[in-house]
Amino acid sequence: MAARRNPAALVLAVLIGLAGFCAQADVRQGGLWDDALIPCNAAVKESERLNGPQLFSSAADCAEQGREFDALFLQIAGQIRSQTDMRLLQPLGDKDQLAVAELYRVIYQRLGGAGPRRLYSDQAAVAQVFQQLESWNPEFHPGYNPGWEYRSSERHALYAEVARETTEHRLAQLKDYAALAVNPRYATLEREAKEIQSRHPGGIPAKSEDFARFTVLYREMSRIAREVGSHQRALSGKQSVLAGLPPELEDGVKQVFTGLNGPARSGSRTFAKEDQARASWLSRALTENQLRSTLAQVDFTKEVLVAVYFGRRTTATGTVHFSGARYNALSGSWHVTGRVGVRDNSCPKQEAVSHPFVLAVAPRPAGPTPSTGHGHSNFGDGCKPPVSGAATPE
C-alpha cells in the first residue's frame, strides 16, 4: 500500500514545485499566448499594464537573458495578475471559458511555483523583489484585455483592492518560504526526505522503515514551517474583499434550496427530468413539501435542476452558495460549482458534523445532458458556530 500525500504537504509541494523558470517555448501554447511576449527590459518597466500571459512569457525571456531576479519578479507578478483576473473577469463565451481554463492549467502545472530555490539564498536580492511587488499596482481600465473577453460587472470597481489582497497573500506565502529556504535544519531534513522519495517513485510502502522515517521527517519539517510561517499567520482570519458577496450567476441560473443533510461524499448531479429528482436522494433529504416547492420552480422542458454536495464537513456555518453552471459547446463539457462557508481558522476551535448541499435551476444544456463536472471551494464565514446535519444515503 502506497502512502497517501498529506494535503499540507501538497500545498508545500505546489508552492516550491518549480525548480527553475520555463522557457518561452513552454509557455507560449495556444491562442492565449499569441503575441504575448514583451521583451524583458520593456516588460519590467511596463509590468503594471501587462496581463498574465504577457508577464509569464516575458519572465521566460528575462531568464534566457540571465536576468533571473527580473524573471522572478515578472513570474510572481504574472501569478498575481492572473489570479486577480480569474477571480473578477468572468469569461463571456465558450472560447473565453477555454482560455481561462488553459491559463489555470498552465499556472497549476508549470508556472505557479516560487521560482528557482537557489535564488532565495540571496536574501537581499529576494527582499528587493518582494519590495517591488509590494509597490506594484496592476492597471485595470476599460478595454483591458486579460487574454479573453469578459462580462461586465459592478465588481470590477474592486479590482485594485482584490489585486492588493492577492499580492498580500502571495507575498506572505513566499516570505515564509524564503525563511524556510535558508533554514539549515529544514534543508537537512528536506534532503533526507527527498532521498527517501527517490527510492520509492511509486509511493513509500506504508509499513516500511522508510515510511516511518519519512513520517518523522515530515512532522519535524511541518513544525519548523509553522515556526517560521509568521507572515501567513498574520493574515489568518482576515476577511476577503469579496467575502459576503453572493456569486454572480450566469443568465437563467438561480439558487433554489440549501440543506445540511446531503450525501456523505462530495459530488454533483444534474436532473433533466422531475422523476429523476424524485427517485434520487433528494426525496429523502427534503420533505415532500420542500421537494414539491423546489421542483415547481423548474421548467423541465428548457431547464435542469442541479445539485452540488460537499460531503462531510466539521466547520460549515450553514451558508452555502451555488456559484456557477456552464455548458461549453466547443468542448462539450458541463461544469457546475458551489461554495460553502466555514468557520475561520483564527476562531476558537469548535466543530459539528454536517453535509451541506445546494440546489439550483439552470438552462438545459444543448443536446443530451452531459455528465456533470463540478468544483467546490470554501470561504471564511467569520466565527459563526458550526452547524450540524446527518448524511442522507444516496
Strand pairing category for 303-310 and 357-363: antiparallel
pLDDT tens track for 340-383: 999 887 788 899 999 999 999 999 987 666 567 888 888 888 88
Residue 324: pLDDT over 50: yes
Residue 25: pLDDT over 70: no
Higher local confidence (pLDDT), 301 or 10: 301
Query: How is 200-237 classified by DSSP, letter by letter?
Result: -TT--BTTSHHHHHHHHHHHHHHHHHHHH-HHHHHHTT
pLDDT tens track for 235-275: 877 778 887 777 888 889 999 999 999 999 999 999 999 99
pTM (2 d.p.) = 0.75
Helix (H, G, I), strand (E, B), or coil: what is residue 264? Answer: coil
Whether residue 249 contacts residue 323, with contact meaning beta carbons closer than 8 Å, is answered with: yes
Contacts of 250 (CB under 8 A, 6+ apart): 324, 325, 326, 362
Q: Specify the pLDDT at position 30.
A: 46
66 CB-side CA count, 13 A: 0
Q: Specify the pLDDT at position 20.
A: 57
Q: Specify the pLDDT at position 4.
A: 29
Residue 27: pLDDT over 70: no
Strand ranges of the sheet holding 333-342, from the earlier edge strand across to the other edge: 316-328, 333-342, 372-380
Of 217, 226, 227, whose CA–CA distance to 187 is shortest?
Answer: 217
Mean pLDDT score, 11-20: 36
User: What are the cell numbers at 120?
Assistant: 532565495
Contacts of 320 (CB under 8 A, 6+ apart): 258, 310, 338, 339, 340, 341, 356, 357, 358
Residue 156: pLDDT over 60: yes
Q: Locate the domains of the chain by residue range.
A: 7-180, 183-235, 254-380
Higher local confidence (pLDDT), 372 or 153: 153
User: What are the cell numbers at 304?
Assistant: 435542469
The C-alpha atoms of residue 147 and residue 33 are separated, in whole angstroms, by: 8
pLDDT band at residue 11, thresholds of 50, 70 and 90?
very low
**Taking CA 81 as the corner, what is the angle to CA 323 and CA 57, rounded to the nearest 5 degrees?**
125
Whether residue 8 contacts residue 222, with contact meaning beta carbons closer than 8 Å, is answered with: yes
